[in-house]
Amino acid sequence: MAFARVYIGADYDHDVLAGLAIGATVSSVGFWATRPVLLWLLARAEQSRLVRPLLTVADTAKLSSR
């Protein structure tokens, strides 16, 4: 879509490149800022008896022996 905006003349190329750079920077910073919290929440969810079955894969050996 960025190329299309330059192609049709809606934006200048440096505007589109600046927007792509700012978007990549903001998303990278946001990912690295929230990653520790998300990993902590995932670790807590894996220990939960209610949520763990939703996050883990069932053992297929146990299922096939039934």
- pLDDT > 90: percent of the chain: 30
- The full set of domain ranges for the chain reads 25-55
- Averaged pLDDT, 30-39: 95
Put simply, whether the predicted model's pTM sits higher than 0.75 gets the answer: no
* Residue 41 vs residue 65, higher pLDDT: 41
User: What pLDDT shows up at residue 14?
Assistant: 84
As given in the structure block, the two tokens for residue 66 are 């039934």
pLDDT confidence of 65, banded at 50, 70, 90?
Answer: low
* Residue 2 vs residue 33, higher pLDDT: 33
| DSSP structure string for 4-15 | HHHHTTSS-HHH
User: What pLDDT shows up at residue 33?
Assistant: 96
